[in-house]
Amino acid sequence: MLKPTARMSLRAGVASVAVASLAACGTASSGSDTEAATEIGDAEGTVSILAWPGYVEDGSNDPSVDWVSGFTEATGCEVVSKTYGTSDEAYQLMQSGGYDVVAASGDLTLRLIGADLVSAVNTDLLDNYEGIFDFLKDKEWNSVDGVSYGVPHGYGANLLMYNTDVVDPAPTSWDVVFDNASDYAGAVTAYDSPIYIADAAVYLMSTEPDLGITNPYALDQDQFDAAVELLKAQKENVGEYWSDYLKEIQAFESGDSVVGTTWQVIQNSITTGNTEVVLPDEGATGWSDTWMIASEAESPNCAYMWLDYIASPEVNAEATAYFGEAPSSEAACDYRDDCDDYHAGDAEYAEQIWYWTTPIAECVDGRTDVECVDYAEWTKAWQEIKG
């Protein structure tokens, strides 16, 4: 039997342990190394990779799809990989640590750089970096102040898909999903992510030039409100939003959706043959993925070896073809026969694409006289748009 005082101090002890453990969760780790390496040392033996599905295939999903074994044979680095479904999930996983390499889309890269979760990459150490298309290098989603944070992997556009039986005449503008969406009320679809607000901004760039939008990821409050209004009006006609690409394939095959935003790989997967895709006159948003190295990587040498390996024309071709996107390596098209479908290397086509970039308060279009709406506000607005 404890005396009252002893019992009280025991209780206080338990309480302070509880508070300390609560305080421990959620505090940021510091002191990570974000400087670029100067040389590649010996392989550490294993490398842990976080990537989109279909980016790191070792033959376990499909025996004929395997570019990991070749890497292990060439470098001696065993690969442990994990896939993720959204950029936001990847961000959480990177925060929890334990990964050496991450394949990040443009709406994730700046967040990773801002949180010191990835380090700069010395591209001089990578033999295959030179073969990457120039129009993908040193962009706002993979570099900061001229310092590169990774190697471009592949890119694609968020295209407009329509059902040729229903949508007539063939659309050349995004107005079929915005101002004229009521023609297909209940059968319009849109991508279910805050980043879709940029699609509305791209449309407003040509229909409402008075707003002065020069970059769909750098919206001040007025421009942002206009895009949100447009999307609230669109919602009345939307049948469903999609984020799972299999769901969109099924919705177009069954006719539940007849017009909306899509990826090339979805068009390639649809078997009913009554859909077409088009890059509308206004241009489109898109993604360009980057291989990055974690600032706390335990195997930085193997990480550099992976970045170099995956950028080689043959492997880059195999990986991007499997996922359904344009390769980043110029010579990759020698190993692929479907490069034309993806307009690989077509700089003019690529220029019409606004690649996903994380919206931050400091406008990414260079304006300094206004503050831009950041991604947290985009997320909040997206929930309000969906209501």
Partner 1 sequence: MTTHRVSAFLAPRRRLQVAGLLTAPVAWLGLVYVVALAALLITAFWTVDGLTGQVQIQWTTENVVEVFTEALYRTVTLRTLGIAAAVTVIDVIVAIPVAFFMAKVANPRARHLLVIAVLAPLWASYLVKVYAWRALLSADGLIGWAGAPLGLDTPGYGIAGVILTLSYLWLPYVIMPIYAGFDRVPDRLLEASADLGARGGVTLMAVVMPMIKPAIIAGSIFAFCLSLGDYITVGIVGGTTQMLGNLVYTNVGAANNLPLAAAISLIPIGIIFLYLAAVRRTGALRSL
Residue of 88, 175, 298, 365 that binds partner 1 (CB under 8 A)? 88
Is residue 233 a contact residue for partner 1 (CB under 8 A)? no
Is residue 382 a contact residue for partner 1 (CB under 8 A)? yes
Is residue 97 a contact residue for partner 1 (CB under 8 A)? no
CA distance 379 to 387: 13
Give the residue with the Cβ less far from partner 1, 239 or 327: 239
**With contacts defined by CB under 8 A, how many residues of the chain interact with partner 1?**
40
Residue of 44, 67, 111, 156 that binds partner 1 (CB under 8 A)? 111
Polymer length in residues for the chain: 387
| Subset of residues 276 to 305 that bind partner 1, contact rule: CB under 8 A | none
Q: Spell out, one character per residue from 346 to 375, where the chain touches partner 1: x when CB under 8 A holds, - when not.
A: --------------xx------------x-
| Cα 305 from chain centroid (whole Å) | 23
Stretch of 54-62, 250-258, 297-305, 323-331 lying at the interface with partner 1 (CB under 8 A): 250-258
Provide the minimum distance between the beta carbon of 365 and partner 1 in the complex, in angstroms, as a whole number: 18
DSSP state of 84: -
Stretch of 87-95, 148-156, 333-341, 364-372 lying at the interface with partner 1 (CB under 8 A): 87-95
Provide the minimum distance between the beta carbon of 26 and partner 1 in the complex, in angstroms, as a whole number: 3
| Cα 243 from chain centroid (whole Å) | 12
CA distance 328 to 307: 13
> Which of these, 88, 114, 120, 60, lies nearest to 303 by C-alpha position?
120
Q: Is 93 exposed, middle or buried (0-12, 13-18, 19+ CB in 10 A)?
A: middle
CA distance 76 to 301: 11
Provide the minimum distance between the beta carbon of 240 and partner 1 in the complex, in angstroms, as a whole number: 4
CA distance 226 to 213: 11
Give the residue with the Cβ less far from partner 1, 180 or 250: 250
Single-letter amino acid, residue 116? D
Provide the minimum distance between the beta carbon of 222 and partner 1 in the complex, in angstroms, as a whole number: 21
Consecutive H or E run containing 18: helix 4-24
CA distance 357 to 1: 63
CA distance 117 to 104: 12
Is residue 146 a contact residue for partner 1 (CB under 8 A)? no
At residue 10, what are phi and psi to the nearest 5 degrees? -60, -45
Residue of 194, 283, 300, 327 that binds partner 1 (CB under 8 A)? 194
Which residues make up the interface to partner 1 (CB under 8 A)? 18, 22-23, 25-28, 86, 88-89, 91-92, 95, 111, 114-115, 186, 193-194, 235, 238-241, 247, 250, 254-256, 360-361, 374, 376, 379-380, 382-384, 386-387
